[in-house]
Structure 1
Amino acid sequence: MSENNQLRLVVVIGSVRKGRFGPVAAEWLASRARLRPDFDVDVIDLATAWLPDVMSADPEAVKPQAVQDLAPWLAAADAFIVVTPEYNQSYPASLKNAIDWYDEEWHAKPVAFLSYGGASSGLGAVGHLRQVFTEFHAVPVRETVSFHDYRECFGSDGCPVAVEAYDEAARRMLDRLGWWARALRRARAQEPFETP
């Protein structure tokens, strides 16, 4: 696949807590995606994006510089993978804040999820995120990668202990994400996506 036909994939690390596991999981998944010829991968860490948490009620208000700086990266994406823990039965406030700062950047693009947590594997957070991204006219992908009791799932090398099983889960998710990304990119090129 030629470079200009590659899909721009943005991996978003949703947690900003100290000692978080998100960067380890995100880098592992990004490394899987980088092995494929169909993806050009960027990783965005919300802990270094410095998005403000106070928004104006005026939709015409000028957005803060940090929001403007991140916007082109999201707008250029053909697909997203959101890496999220589960905090108190849902996803981190930092992730909701980041999603809410943008609108058209999410439209008609697929979103997949890598989640991690305790007994729930972070799937409660994913369930909530599917609803949120649907509201932004994004297309949540059914296939996910999730880590149950995640601290026991990864070795000191930053890779899953049961690497074959998780590699297969990642492959299935990336295959589906690629399918949707190609289909939606063609659709956006043929007819720009507009909301009422």
Structure 2
Amino acid sequence: MSDLKIAVILGSTRPGRNGKAVADWVMTQAERRSGASYELVDLLDYPLPHLDEAMPPSAGQYAGAHTKAWAEKIAAYDGFVFVTPEYNHSTSGVLKNAIDYLYAEWNNKAAGFVSYGSLGGARAIEHLRAISAELQLADVRQQLSFSLFTDFENFSVFRPGPQYADQATVLFDQVESWAGALKQLRAAEPVAA
């Protein structure tokens, strides 16, 4: 097993959310991997208030205990697979808020995206790609987009088709490749005095 650690971040805390089933499916696919260890990070377990830090995250001067705990959690990973709903042509507010809390903990790491929504959540992913660029997160090309119309029964029971397993393999391959390369880059960076 590789020493790469990838977080699958569940980006919805909404009651009755579809995201839990999607994230569980992603984790089931990830269990077959030997190139990295995967861990589910559910934002329900990290109740962050609307960004309440006085200093910008790029300063790295976190004051709140909740921010410090979140920073410690995210810093431990080499890459991320974000599982996001699409709300109003974007990602969820809770995921955006969780991302906005930090800066250096995201830098020079890999990111992949899994979305769901009426149009497969594609617009949520596009917004996350723009956010990733600002955070120096290297997002990979492959993505998974699940439609509420064709991949869910009654818009609530997740039933993905078999073709998604192969797509997930490509996503994991890309995230692991980039995470490994960027881990070497981070290891070569000079330590600030």
TM-score by length of structure 1 reads 0.87
Tell me how far apart the structure 2 counterparts of residues 6 and 149 of structure 1 sit (CA, whole Å): 35
Corresponding letter in the other structure for 1:74: I
Q: Please say if residues 62 and 68 of structure 2, whose CA atoms lie closer than 8 Å, have aligned partners that are also in contact.
A: no
Q: 1:139 to 1:62 in 2, by over 3 A?
A: closer
Q: How does 1:113-192 map to 2 (within 5 A)?
A: 113-118=113-118, 120-149=119-148, 152-154=150-152, 160-163=159-162, 165-192=163-190
Q: Percent identity?
A: 35
Q: Which moved more, 1:105-114 or 1:67-76?
A: 67-76
SS at match of 1:106: coil
Among 34, 39, 53, the alignment partner of 1:37 is 34
Q: 1:18 to 1:192 in 2, by over 3 A?
A: farther
Q: Across the two proteins, how many residue pairs are aligned to each other?
A: 187
User: In the alignment, which residue of structure 2 is the partner of 1:19?
Assistant: 16
1:56, distance to aligned residue in structure 2 (A): 3.2
SS at match of 2:22: helix
Tell me how far apart the structure 2 counterparts of residues 170 and 110 of structure 1 sit (CA, whole Å): 15
Structure 1: gaps of 5 or more residues: none
Tell me how far apart the structure 1 counterparts of residues 126 and 190 of structure 2 sit (CA, whole Å): 28
Q: Please say if residues 51 and 100 of structure 2, whose CA atoms lie closer than 8 Å, have aligned partners that are also in contact.
A: no
Q: 1:115 to 1:161 in 2, by over 3 A?
A: closer
SS at match of 2:52: coil
1:192, distance to aligned residue in structure 2 (A): 4.6
Q: 1:89 to 1:192 in 2, by over 3 A?
A: farther
TM superposition outliers: structure 1 runs of 4+ over 4 Å = 59-62
Cα deviation code 1:71-114 (max 9, x no counterpart): 22210101100000110111111011100111111000011000
Structure 2: gaps of 5 or more residues: none
1:52 paired with 2:49, answer yes
RMSD: 2.1
Cα deviation code 1:123-180 (max 9, x no counterpart): 0000011001110111111100110226x4147xx763412x0101100100111110
More helix by share: 1
SS at match of 2:99: helix
1:193, distance to aligned residue in structure 2 (A): 8.9
